[in-house]
């Protein structure tokens, strides 16, 4: 997956120069002339990035103040400051504020690249360390994870399987009765995996009218149908790089099943009313309370889509046996 870098500088020429440099190296960049706007987007989870590169001298807020505010959020995104001031005191202040590194102007791009790559490496090490701690807790017999507390063999097995598959990118199909915690298992897979800093987007396919569900999933162009007054980004794009959780996938009509199958095969989507195809990078996790094998036999669910989704099956046991187990232990 491409690393994502937020670039903050009130000088548009510098911003464009930085953007071109990193995009030529296959990084994804987000450009901001206003640090306060970047802070707001991060606070509201509108911006997900791996590294921030910001100028020291900004009109509304200094790079140091921006760094301090980021730390008040408890955010672990590495911040690299660019400054024209060569004084040691400035460097010390930046590090004390929580910056990962600083680069002195004029920008030496190879040095900046090394700093960014080291920051990314540190971030991955910290994420792996956190995952390892969680794995150790599970191996020690604790199944308390992200609000999940379970003692029954069935739920322990489901949580252990969720942990083991979290590092892969294969499609997962979670099945079980309504109310058994299928979405919680999906979130567990997300937070234990390398995508945990990226969006987890969920939709209940049974709760959206059929004529609107396609637009919700794939998006639409302005004027593509009655009521489409503005363009809309679909959930496949919103979940870019993260996880898209399709709950009650068994209620999808056959027409949308065919379109979903094509998306999974080609890894790209097309908004309603557009000719342009857009690549998708989201991991797909689905859930259903139905027995999809029986639905396939009844011709209510496509067999090819079932096998495409059922790469890694996870079954959640019913609540009643789990409750009975809890009362007897």
Percent of the chain with pLDDT strictly greater than 90: 32
Q: Which SS3 state, helix, strand or coil, does residue 18 take?
A: helix
Instruction: Decide if pLDDT at 19 tops 90.
Output: yes
* 254, 299 Cβ separation under 8 angstroms: no
- pTM confidence score: 0.55
Query: Which pLDDT belongs to residue 240?
Result: 87
Instruction: Decide if pLDDT at 326 tops 50.
Output: no
* 199, 243 Cβ separation under 8 angstroms: yes
* 317, 158 Cβ separation under 8 angstroms: yes
Candidates 314, 329, 296; CA nearest to 163 is 314
pLDDT level of residue 5 (50, 70, 90 thresholds)? very high
Minimum mean pLDDT among 170-174, 307-311, 319-323: which range?
A: 319-323
Query: Which pLDDT belongs to residue 148?
Result: 56
Minimum mean pLDDT among 178-187, 189-198, 240-249: which range?
A: 178-187
Domains of the chain: 4-127 (3.40.50.2300), 141-328 (3.40.50.300)
Q: What is the pLDDT of residues 126-141, one digit of tens each?
A: 666 665 555 555 444 4
Question: How many degrees, rounded to 5, is the angle at CA 2 between CA 244 and CA 22?
Answer: 140
Q: How far apart are the C-alpha atoms of 283 and 102, rounded to whole Å?
A: 35
Query: Which pLDDT belongs to residue 328?
Result: 43
Query: Which pLDDT belongs to residue 295?
Result: 94
Candidates 117, 59, 41; CA nearest to 101 is 117
Query: Which pLDDT belongs to residue 127?
Result: 63
């Amino acid at each position: 997956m491409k690393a994502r870098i937020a670039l903050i500088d009130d000088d548009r020429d510098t911003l464009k120069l930085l953007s071109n440099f990193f995009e030529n190296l296959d990084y994804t960049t987000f450009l901001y002339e206003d640090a306060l706007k970047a802070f707001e987007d991060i606070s509201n989870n509108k911006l997900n990035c791996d590294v921030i590169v910001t100028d020291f001298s900004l009109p509304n807020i200094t790079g140091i103040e921006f760094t301090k505010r980021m730390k008040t959020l408890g955010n672990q995104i590495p911040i690299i400051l660019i400054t024209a001031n060569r004084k040691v005191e400035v460097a010390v202040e930046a590090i004390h504020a929580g910056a990962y590194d600083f680069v002195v102007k004029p920008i030496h791009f190879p040095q900046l690249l090394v700093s960014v790559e080291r920051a990314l490496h540190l971030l991955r090490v910290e994420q792996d360390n956190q995952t390892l701690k969680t794995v150790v807790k599970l191996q020690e017999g604790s199944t308390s994870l992200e609000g999940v507390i379970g003692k029954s063999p069935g739920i322990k097995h489901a949580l252990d399987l969720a942990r083991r598959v979290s590092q892969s990118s294969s499609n997962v199909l979670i099945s079980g009765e309504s109310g058994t915690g299928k979405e919680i298992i999906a979130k567990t897979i997300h937070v234990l995996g390398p995508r945990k800093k990226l969006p987890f987007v969920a939709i209940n396919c049974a709760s959206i009218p059929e004529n609107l569900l396609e637009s919700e999933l794939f998006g639409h162009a302005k004027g593509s149908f009655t009521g489409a007054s503005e363009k809309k980004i679909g959930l496949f794009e919103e979940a870019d790089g993260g996880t898209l959780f399709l709950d009650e996938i068994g209620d999808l009509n056959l027409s949308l099943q065919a379109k979903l199958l094509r998306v999974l095969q080609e890894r790209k989507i097309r908004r309603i009313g557009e000719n342009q195809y857009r690549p998708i990078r989201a991991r797909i996790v689905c859930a259903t309370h139905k027995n999809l094998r029986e639905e396939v036999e009844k011709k209510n669910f496509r067999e090819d889509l079932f096998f495409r989704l059922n790469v890694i099956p996870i079954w959640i046991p019913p609540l009643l046996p789990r409750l009975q187990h809890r009362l007897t232990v």
